[in-house]
């Protein structure tokens, strides 16, 4: 009987928005998970290929996507997301350590829903994500 009660309790709990964090750096992934874990259901992916698998298995409400990754970079992952009808509406924020004008111009031309500089203070990153979800409501 406790399994049924547990299932019913979980169903009644408000669900947290799902955030997929895609970065080849375990340090960045873990920092963002620790930062967001209280308010969000955070899933981590270490590569573009893993990100696509996560999209299929558990559709997130927001993707935080590293722009520069080996093999399958952020641009390629965004192209896959936008080209697949069932994923096209998933919002994507690029994560980047580069904020030079040329890189920013490239990022903006890809039309992500936003971008976050990795050098921002953790509280600023959290605030931007919180603000995004508050505006979405």
Provide the 8-state DSSP code for 123: H
Read off the pTM: 0.85
3-state secondary structure of 34: helix
pLDDT in tens, 86-121: 898 999 999 988 878 888 888 888 889 988 988 899
pLDDT in tens, 26-72: 999 999 999 999 999 999 999 999 999 999 998 999 999 998 888 88
Residue 113, both tokens:
């829903």
Is residue 54 within 8 Å of residue 20, measured between CB atoms? yes
């Amino acid at each position: 009987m406790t399994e049924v009660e547990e299932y019913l309790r979980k169903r009644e709990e408000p669900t947290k928005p799902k955030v997929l964090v895609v970065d080849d750096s375990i340090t960045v992934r873990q920092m963002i998970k620790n930062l967001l874990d209280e308010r969000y259901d955070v899933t981590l992916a270490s590569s573009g290929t893993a990100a696509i698998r996560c999209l299929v298995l558990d559709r997130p409400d927001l993707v935080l996507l590293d722009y520069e990754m080996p093999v399958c970079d952020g641009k390629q992952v965004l192209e896959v997301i936008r080209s697949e009808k069932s994923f096209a509406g998933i919002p994507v924020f690029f994560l980047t350590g580069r904020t030079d004008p040329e890189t920013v111009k490239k990022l903006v031309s890809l039309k992500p829903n936003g971008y976050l500089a990795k050098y921002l203070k953790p509280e600023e990153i959290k605030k931007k994500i919180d603000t995004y979800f508050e505006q979405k409501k």
